[in-house]
Amino acid sequence: MKILVVDDDRLSRRILEMDLKKKGHDVISAENGEIALNLLKSDMEISLVITDWNMPVMDGLELCRKSRELIRKRYLPMILLTSRGEKEDLIAGLNAGADAFLSKPLNSPELQAHLKVVGRNLDLEKKLSDQIEEIKLAHIELQKANVKIEDIARHDGLTGLFNRRYVMERLEAEMIRSRLQGTPLGVIIIDIDHFKKVNDQFGHLMGDKVLRETSQVMQSNARPDDILGRYGGEEFLGVFPNTVMEGLLVIADRIRLSVQNNPIQLDTEESLNIKVSIGMACFKADRDTSTTLLSRADEALYEAKKNGRNQVCFR
């Protein structure tokens, strides 16, 4: 331990210092309470104070009181050295913040017994502190895991876009906000044209690659507040807050052209040109539910397919 010895008697202080150092402790000393208090303020590694009661400038009782006002990470045990033995003196010492009393002249075995008690308490405090740190670290890791789980629960495992459940939840929330604030809201349903042929001709691994890379292209053309997710199979659903029909058409056609202009590289040197059909609809606050809104977007998608695919239609 690092021990602070406080005594105005130089000889007594020196004898105690030597005795403690023989027992392997790191010892510093002070000749009165004022000096000792300044040392405590500057050196937070001190783990025990052994102080005489009667001293000039600041006595041991006042040192105990002042020391208890210091903000420290760890508890500071304090032992009072005194020739006083009256009950009232002991009560005064305890009230001032002393933890134990030793009679002068010092009895070395008695001092050693007190040091063992202090050492055990410091060990317990250290173990408790370590356990608290472990709990804090475990809590941080748990928070990270919860964030990761929440992220997994929101996203489609293949494409990295939001999954159907989350997009539908956000659609319902945006519809409520649109009604309350009177803001426009649009949706689009995107379907990869002739996707079954991709799977049949090149296999499902290539089909997965098409889904992933097409999703990335679509996401790169969405704005930060737009909500884009996998609706099912090769279909995707986009929810676009604060977007009127003209703006929605611009976004939808930008996505369509971007997919068309970004061919998928095959395992050979050839590439695969992918195209999409898009149906779009704008929310009518006075009559639409999520079902009717998506139904109109789906009808528009069907019209785009029927009219030759690779186009945007509106309902």
Q: Which of the residues are catalytic?
A: 234
Do the beta carbons of residue 60 and residue 99 sit within 8 Å? no
Structure tokens at 220: 């790169």
Structure tokens at 206: 């290539």
Question: What sign has the CA pseudo-torsion 46, 47, 53, 58?
Answer: positive
Q: Residue 83 is which amino acid?
A: S
Element (H, E) at 276: strand 276-282
Across-strand partners of 185?
A: 241
The phi and psi torsions of 223 (rounded to 5 degrees) equal -85, 165
Neighbour-count burial of 24, counting CB atoms closer than 10 A to its CB (0-12 exposed, 13-18 middle, 19+ buried): exposed
Coil/strand/helix, residue 122:
helix
Helices and strands of the chain, counted as H and E runs? 10, 12
Instruction: Show the CA angle centred on residue 299, arms to residues 234 and 307, nearest 5°.
Output: 80
What is the b/e burial string over 225-241, where b = at least 16 CB atoms within 10 angstroms of the residue's CB? ebbbbbbeebbbbbbbb
Instruction: Determine the Cα–Cα distance for residues 247 and 221; give it in Å rounded to an integer.
Output: 13
Q: Residue 34 is which amino acid?
A: E
